[in-house]
Amino acid sequence: MTAHRFRIPASTSNLGAGFDALGLALDRYLHVSIEGAANFTIDVQGLNVESIPTGMDNLLLRVARSVADQRARKLPPFRLAIVNEIPLARGLGSSATAIIAGITCYELMTDDRLSDEEIFRYAFEFEPHPDNLAAALYGGLVSAARTSSGGVCVARLDVASGSTPIVVIPEFELSTEKARKVLPQSYSRADTVYNIQRTALAIAALTTGKWALLREAMRDRIHQPYRASLIPGLDEVLALDTPGLFGIALSGAGPTVFALGDPDKADAIGSAMVGVFGKHGVRSVFHKLGIDLKGRVQTPLCRN
pLDDT at 149: 87
In angstroms, the CA 160 to CA 154 distance is 19
- Cα distances from 2 to residues 5, 68, 100, 247, 289, in angstroms, run 10, 20, 21, 45, 33
Total residues found in the chain within this entry: 304
Domain limits of the chain? 2-158+291-302, 164-288
Mean pLDDT of the 189-208 span: 98
Residue-wise pLDDT for 24-56, tens only, equals 999 999 999 999 999 999 999 998 888 898 999
pLDDT at 300: 60
Q: Which CATH architecture has domain 2-158+291-302?
A: 2-Layer Sandwich (3.30)
In angstroms, the CA 102 to CA 283 distance is 32
In angstroms, the CA 82 to CA 8 distance is 11
Q: Does the pLDDT value for residue 230 go beyond 70?
A: yes
CATH of the domain spanning 164-288: 3.30.70.890
